[in-house]
Amino acid sequence: MTLHLSPIKITLVDRHVPLASMPVPAGFPSPAADDLEDTIDPIKWVVRHEHATFWWRVSGDSLEAEGILDGDLIAVDRAGKRRHSRIVVAVVDGAITVKKLAKRDGVWFLDPRARADAYATIPVTETTEIWGVVAGVVRRLPIE
């Protein structure tokens, strides 16, 4: 089975939201700041190449050790640099997968980064297409 991917037009709408003046510590608590530094458009912060970026929903947990979980949305940049240790979307034997690109002893692989050993490393061959690089992850958390 051959998979053909074609681009779709995406229009970004500016949505600026307040950004706090200090980062929130994920370690020890720090006194809260009551002033705002600036505004930020979270989507534009993730998307660097608007016309080369596509959004995909993740299915599966093969990248949970990288913080990418089942159901997350990923922004995939076709113009991103394909380098060792980047998370990429690849087409392997007509199937799409998202994995960590790795090079060991001069050979390229697509590595799963699951906490369990349920997934196999995939060797990159001449028929493997590195479709794009993951530029960001969006996850919606419960608030009720």
CATH number at residue 42: 2.10.109.10
Q: What single string gives the DSSP state of each residue in 41-63?
A: -HHHHH-SSGGGEEEEE--SSTT
pLDDT digits (tens, 9 = 90+) for 76-100: 999 999 999 999 999 999 999 999 9
Question: In this predicted structure, what is the pLDDT of residue 102?
Answer: 98
Q: Which domain holds residue 69?
A: 35-138
- State the catalytic residue, choosing from 30, 44, 99, 100: 99
| 6 band by pLDDT with thresholds 50, 70 and 90 | very low
| Phi, psi values for residue 64, rounded to 5° | -60, -30
Q: Is residue 107 part of a domain?
A: yes
Q: Is residue 87 part of a domain?
A: yes
What average pLDDT does this structure show over 62-87?
Answer: 95
- State the catalytic residue, choosing from 9, 21, 44, 62: 62
Q: Is residue 67 part of a domain?
A: yes
- Of 4-13, 65-74, 115-124, where does mean pLDDT reach its minimum? 4-13
Q: How far apart are CA 64 and CA 71, in angstroms?
A: 11
The answer to whether 19 and 37 have CB atoms below 8 angstroms apart is yes
What average pLDDT does this structure show over 19-31?
Answer: 67
- Where on the phi/psi map is residue 21: left (φ > 0), alpha (ψ -120 to 50), or beta? alpha
| 42 band by pLDDT with thresholds 50, 70 and 90 | confident
Question: In this predicted structure, what is the pLDDT of residue 14?
Answer: 77
Looking at the structure of the chain, the number of domains it has is: 1
Q: Is residue 99 part of a domain?
A: yes
In the chain, pLDDT over 90 holds for what percent of residues? Answer: 60
Q: Is residue 131 part of a domain?
A: yes
What average pLDDT does this structure show over 107-119?
Answer: 92
Active site residue 62: yes
The answer to whether 132 and 88 have CB atoms below 8 angstroms apart is yes
Q: Are strands 36-40 and 107-111 parallel, antiparallel or unpaired?
A: unpaired
Tell me the sheet residues that pair with 92.
Answer: 95
